[in-house]
Every structure is written in structure tokens, then in C-alpha cells.
């Protein structure tokens, strides 16, 4: 899918209001003043359609209040209607134990070296699982085709330009305008509407949020596990007690977005023990291989990356640029980003670091542009281009034919 860039003309009038929604609510950071009322005043809300191709019907007023997100089911394929109905019907004794469910699409794209969970949802129903469910303008903007992000810092870290985020990597990425910030269920970082999901994701209706009302999620966990058994779906408890550390008994899932790189990663199942990521052994066996490379010696990377990595390093040798790289600081490394529970792209073996001691995060690094350009010509993105620089880091964003 080609990169999409929204027309700036449609944004000029909306940008000030969009940023205000993200920050406070009114263009000046204060309550918006109404005009002199008439006999029958009507509220007026400006809802710009940033991208008409991805606009959905405006959501109605939220009825019934918010729902607590207690359990997340995440799978590599669509969840069946039968499964969703069985989960919604779970009881403890004679009492209904599931008070709300929400079926939606979920993917785990790598954005500037970090894996985020991005949901594609129906704004009309998903909003009840957000702490900002009653804030109508947030969900109006989501329906209009803009993105809602869980917190400002996440957006700041990965913006490709002010107020835009590219979902995915390389030629497969689409750029979406950030319209608002609003709290999301645990583990979900960004939200787009279902129209965007049709283009961005290659798996749909593969996630389910569950609210257990007055019951603890632990009370129905066995019943949920029995229903999803054999489907490959992961069941993650989202309650505060469990969130003190990811549940070591739950199999986690990351489904890459579409495109050549996403296809090479496939579906990544893993468990978390302490702060360690334990990937499924069969995935490692089929996706990771160790080879000896020019300049840096033996490296263990995703098999889809090895040919292009070798080609890039060979070109550095041929052009007399090998002197600028001394050793590899690692490729495949099943881990989280430091101080987070977000997977690093190294967990997929799709990124490699060079000369870490002299190319730390937040620095300009030591690699000349000629070295960087060689890697870019072979389908790699460079962390030195990011908002928060990581010049040691090169990650594959485009699969190329190597002859």
C-alpha cells in the first residue's frame, strides 16, 4: 500500500481546533464561549473530515456509561461469532459475569523501532471502554478519520511530522493525523476508526475487550480460556493487580501489519517471565538464523533480513566505507523497550545495532551520511532520523530482491 498523505487544505481550518481537543478542549485552552443565545439555542460542533475516504458516521451520544476493560483477547485471525457469544454469556452461578464486550481489529506495527498496539474500532461502541467515553468531540474526530492517541508523549516520540503518525514502516506505511488524546484500555496505544483498519490491517475482528462488572476477571478466566482453547488466541487480564506485571501464565500475541515486512514477521507469540520475553520456539526456529557477515562477523537475524544486510555490508566494503563500522551490538534480541512492556523490533530480528558505545540514543552518532545512504538503498531505515534519535539502529522496512 502506498504511503498516504492527507490534503493540507482540509486541515488548515481544523488544525487549531484539533490540537485544542488534544490538549484542553477549546482553541485557547479555555472553555469555548458561545454566541448570544437565541430562543432555541443549538450546540454547534465543528467536525472536520480530515480524510473523506476514511470517514464513518458520527457516533451518537454514549448511553449506559463507561465499561471497565478487564480482559483482552487478541488473536492472529478473526474471532468467531460463536466464540464472542459464548464469552458474552458467561455466568458465575446464576449471575451474569460479563457486562460488556467490544469486538475490534488490533495490530502491533513497529513505529520508529518500537512496537505499539494500534486498534481499529467503531467509535460509537468502543468509546465506552475509554475513560474519555463521554467526550463527544474525541470520538467525532475518530469517526472523521483522525487518530486518537493514549498520551501526548507517545505521539511526540513517533510523529513523522507535527501531528502526523505513520502506521507501519517504509512503503507500507500510511500517515494519519492525530486529532485527540484520550485514555485507552491498558496495552492499547493508538486508535483509528474501522475504515482506516480496512486499509491498514490485514486481519480484522481479531480482538475482544471484556468487562466483568462487579466480578474480578480472575473469576471467569478459566471459562474464557476453555472457550478460546485451540484457537491460538491470547487472553490477557487487564485489571490493576495483573498489570503490576504482565501475566506470566498468559501467551501474548503480536500480529504485524500488512506488507512485505509484516508478512516476513508473521504472528509472534510470546510469554513474559519477569522482564524477559520468551518467544515461541517454533517461530524462532523458522524465522531466525545465524550467519557470518562482512565487517561484523556472526549475527543472528530474521531470515528475511539477512540477504539485504549482507548486500549493504558488501557495498560498504566495495566503496571503502567499512572503516566506519566496527562491530554489531546485536540483531535478534527478544526483549522489551527499556522501562516499558512494548516489544522492540529486535524481538523480531528485523533490526541491527552497530557501535553502540559511540552511537547512543539522543545523539547524532558517528556514521557519515554515505554509510547511512547505503543501508537506506538496501531497504533499511535509520534511527538517526527519528524524533528521539537512535543512530546505532538500522531496521528493515522494505523487502527487496537481491541478485
Fold (topology level) of 287-396: Muramoyl-pentapeptide Carboxypeptidase; domain 2 (3.30.1380)
Would you state the pLDDT for residue 143?
Answer: 95
Would you state the pLDDT for residue 325?
Answer: 96
Centre a 10 Å sphere on the Cβ of residue 29 and count the other Cβ atoms it contains.
9
Would you state the pLDDT for residue 382?
Answer: 95
Phi-psi region of 170 (alpha: psi -120 to 50; beta: other; left: phi over 0): left
Share of the chain above pLDDT 70, in %: 82
C-alpha cell read off for 259: 506488507
Angle at 304 between CA 353 and CA 350, to 5 degrees: 30
Would you state the pLDDT for residue 28?
Answer: 29
- Does residue 207 sit in helix, strand or coil? strand
C-alpha cell read off for 89: 454469556
Q: In angstroms, what is the C-alpha Rg of the chain?
A: 23
- CA–CA distance, 290 with 309 (Å, rounded to integer): 12
Would you state the pLDDT for residue 172?
Answer: 65
Would you state the pLDDT for residue 35?
Answer: 40
How far does CA 59 lie from the centroid of its chain? 24
Contact 144, 47 (CB under 8 A): yes
* Rounded-to-10 torsion of CA 292, 284, 119, 126: -170
- CA–CA distance, 253 with 76 (Å, rounded to integer): 8
Phi-psi region of 358 (alpha: psi -120 to 50; beta: other; left: phi over 0): alpha
Would you state the pLDDT for residue 182?
Answer: 92
Which sequence spans correspond to the domains of the chain? 51-261, 287-396
Phi, psi at residue 40, to the nearest 5°?
-130, 75
C-alpha cell read off for 210: 471484556
- CA–CA distance, 88 with 97 (Å, rounded to integer): 8
How far does CA 133 lie from the centroid of its chain? 21
Buried b (16+ CB within 10 A) or exposed e, 224-259: beebbeeeebbbbbbbeebeeebbeebbbbbbbbbb
Would you state the pLDDT for residue 249?
Answer: 65
CA separation, residue 271 to residues 224, 249, 301, 341 (Å): 18, 7, 20, 12
Contact 261, 170 (CB under 8 A): yes
Q: Which helix (H) or strand (E) holds 36?
A: none
Centre a 10 Å sphere on the Cβ of residue 373 and count the other Cβ atoms it contains.
12
Which is nearest to 209 in space by CA: 138, 128, 110? 128
Per-residue pLDDT of 73-132, as tens digits, reads 999 999 999 999 999 999 999 899 999 999 999 999 888 888 899 999 999 999 999 989
Per-residue pLDDT of 280-293, as tens digits, reads 999 999 999 999 99
74 bridge partner residues: 207, 234
- CA–CA distance, 50 with 40 (Å, rounded to integer): 31
User: Which residue is it, cell 534511527?
Assistant: 383
List, for the chain, all residue ranges whose pLDDT scores fall below the cut of 70.
1-50, 169-172, 240-249, 258, 273-275, 338-341
- CA–CA distance, 333 with 346 (Å, rounded to integer): 5
Helix then strand count (H, E) for the chain reads 13, 23
CA separation, residue 242 to residues 218, 246, 248 (Å): 9, 6, 10
Contact 351, 395 (CB under 8 A): yes
Amino acid at each position: 500500500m502506498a504511503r498516504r498523505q492527507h490534503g493540507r487544505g482540509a486541515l488548515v481550518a481544523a488544525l487549531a481546533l484539533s490540537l485544542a481537543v488534544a490538549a484542553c478542549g477549546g482553541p485557547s485552552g479555555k472553555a469555548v464561549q458561545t454566541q448570544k443565545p437565541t430562543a432555541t439555542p443549538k450546540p454547534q460542533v465543528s467536525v472536520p473530515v480530515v480524510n473523506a475516504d476514511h470517514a464513518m458516521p458520527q457516533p451518537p451520544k454514549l448511553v449506559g456509561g463507561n465499561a471497565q476493560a478487564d480482559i483482552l483477547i487478541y488473536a492472529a485471525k478473526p474471532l468467531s461469532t460463536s466464540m464472542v457469544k459464548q464469552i458474552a454469556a458467561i455466568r458465575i452461578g446464576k449471575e451474569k459475569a460479563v457486562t460488556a464486550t467490544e469486538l475490534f481489529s488490533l495490530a502491533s506495527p513497529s513505529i520508529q523501532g518500537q512496537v505499539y498496539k494500534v486498534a481499529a474500532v467503531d467509535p460509537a461502541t468502543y468509546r465506552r471502554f475509554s475513560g474519555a467515553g463521554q467526550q463527544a468531540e474525541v470520538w467525532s474526530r475518530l469517526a472523521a478519520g483522525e487518530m486518537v492517541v493514549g498520551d501526548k508523549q507517545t505521539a511526540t516520540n513517533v510523529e513523522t511530522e507535527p501531528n502526523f503518525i505513520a502506521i507501519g514502516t517504509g512503503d507500507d506505511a500510511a500517515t494519519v493525523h492525530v486529532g485527540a488524546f484520550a485514555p485507552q484500555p491498558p496495552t492499547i496505544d493508538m486508535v483509528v476508526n474501522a475504515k482506516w483498519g480496512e486499509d491498514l490491517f490485514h486481519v480484522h475482528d481479531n480482538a475482544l475487550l471484556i468487562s466483568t462488572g462487579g466480578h474480578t476477571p480472575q473469576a471467569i478466566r478459566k471459562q474464557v480460556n476453555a472457550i478460546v482453547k485451540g484457537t491460538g488466541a491470547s487472553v490477557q487480564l487487564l485489571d490493576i493487580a495483573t498489570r503490576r506485571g504482565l501475566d506470566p501464565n498468559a501467551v501474548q500475541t503480536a500480529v504485524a501489519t500488512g506488507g512485505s515486512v509484516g508478512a516476513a514477521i508473521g504472528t509472534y507469540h510470546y510469554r513474559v517471565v519477569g522482564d524477559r520475553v520468551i518467544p515461541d520456539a517454533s517461530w524462532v526456529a523458522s524465522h531466525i538464523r545465524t550467519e557470518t557477515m562482512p565487517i561484523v562477523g556472526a549475527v543472528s537475524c530474521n531470515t528475511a533480513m539477512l540477504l539485504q544486510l549482507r548486500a549493504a555490508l558488501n557495498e560498504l566494503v566495495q566503496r571503502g566505507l567499512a572503516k566506519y563500522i566496527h562491530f554489531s551490538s546485536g540483531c535478534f534480541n527478544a526483549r522489551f523497550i527499556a522501562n516499558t512492556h512494548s516489544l522492540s523490533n529486535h524481538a523480531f530480528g528485523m533490526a541491527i545495532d552497530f557501535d553502540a558505545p559511540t552511537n547512543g540514543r539522543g545523539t547524532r552518532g558517528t556514521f557519515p551520511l554515505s554509510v547511512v545512504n547505503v543501508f537506506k538503498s538496501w531497504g533499511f531505515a535509520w534511527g538517526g532520523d527519528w524524533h528521539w534519535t537512535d543512530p546505532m539502529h538500522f531496521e528493515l522496512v522494505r523487502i527487496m530482491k537481491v541478485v
